[in-house]
């Protein structure tokens, strides 16, 4: 398995928690290149994943602009990383991706899903644009925390078509919000808690579309978070590798 991101574990000691983060990415079998981008900060407890829309230069530009801008602004704002500052960060990300696509004939857009943990450790913020996802495993229950910003999500929620229908499959590629959207829609900003024992997963749809719930849950129970990432990425390849696939696992442990 070739990876585009190193899988060493980064460790952070905060006031209330210790955190371990690790991430990885695979190209898969559909594309020659990887249009996913992920960032695990080496000094601060936050991570972000992005998935470019399409397989061209616009996709590459969007992911690079979104992730680099998000990371730089979170570092600049630290430790003041509450809702107000993160709203400003995501607004600037939108502007950066739009600027990256200026003059390009290709669509320049990407998803963006991030998790930022405040210095005390018990409070976090999930930032969401598009259909990459954040999951939380707590007390053996794996839950999807984010909402997909797609027509498919709306259609399934409101009963427009069956989940396994051709219409639903087509609608998965119709994003209602993303970084680089001409209308610069707001990101979802979710206040979340982190407790000792929690395991968080940020992933692109190359993981969530190909790796089933029970396989995902089993992977996230593994004691070594790097092993969890490798298991998820290998599962995406075993399922056909139909897309670039990226995963970040964050595990919370007691501070003492």
Q: What is the per-residue pLDDT for 130?
A: 98
Domains and CATH numbers, the chain: 11-238 (3.60.40.10)
The three state secondary structure string of 90-154 is HHHHHHHHHHHCCCCCCCCCECEEEEEECCCCCEEEEEEECCCEEEEEECCEEEECCCCCEHHHH
Q: What is the pTM of this model?
A: 0.96
Instruction: Tell me the percentage of the chain whose pLDDT exceeds 90.
Output: 93
Confidence label for 242 from pLDDT (cuts 50, 70 and 90): very high
Q: What is the per-residue pLDDT for 150?
A: 97
Residue with tokens 């995902």, as numbered in its chain: 216
Q: Please, what's the b/e burial string for 224-249 (b: 16 or more CB within 10 A of its CB; e: otherwise)?
A: ebbebbbbbbbbbbebebebbbbbbb
**Token pair listed for 98:** 């739009």
Question: CA 5, CA 63: separation in Å to the nearest integer?
Answer: 15
Q: What is the per-residue pLDDT for 8?
A: 83
Confidence label for 5 from pLDDT (cuts 50, 70 and 90): very low
Question: CA 184, CA 107: separation in Å to the nearest integer?
Answer: 14
């Amino acid at each position: 398995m070739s990876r585009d991101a190193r899988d060493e574990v980064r460790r952070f000691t905060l006031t209330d928690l210790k955190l371990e983060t690790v991430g990885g990415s695979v190209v898969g079998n559909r594309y020659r290149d990887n249009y996913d981008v992920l960032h695990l900060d080496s000094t601060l407890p936050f991570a972000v994943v992005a998935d470019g829309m399409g397989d061209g230069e616009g996709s590459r530009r969007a992911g690079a602009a979104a992730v680099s801008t998000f990371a730089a602004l979170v570092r600049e704002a630290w430790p003041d990383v509450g809702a107000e500052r993160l709203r400003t960060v995501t607004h600037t990300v939108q502007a950066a991706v739009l600027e990256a696509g200026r003059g390009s004939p290709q669509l320049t857009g990407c998803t963006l899903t991030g998790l930022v943990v405040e210095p005390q450790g018990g409070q976090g913020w999930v930032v969401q644009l598009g259909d990459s996802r954040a999951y939380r495993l707590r007390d053996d229950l794996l839950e999807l925390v984010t909402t997909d910003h797609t027509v498919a999500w709306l259609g399934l929620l409101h009963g427009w078509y069956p989940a396994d229908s051709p219409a639903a499959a087509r609608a998965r590629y119709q994003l209602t919000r993303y970084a680089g959207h001409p209308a610069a829609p707001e990101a979802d900003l979710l206040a979340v808690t982190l407790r000792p024992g929690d395991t968080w997963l940020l992933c692109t749809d190359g993981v969530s579309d190909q790796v089933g719930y029970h396989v995902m849950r089993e992977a996230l129970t593994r004691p070594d978070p790097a092993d969890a990432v490798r298991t998820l990425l290998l599962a995406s390849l075993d399922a056909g590798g139909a897309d670039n696939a990226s995963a970040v696992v964050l595990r919370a442990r007691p501070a003492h």
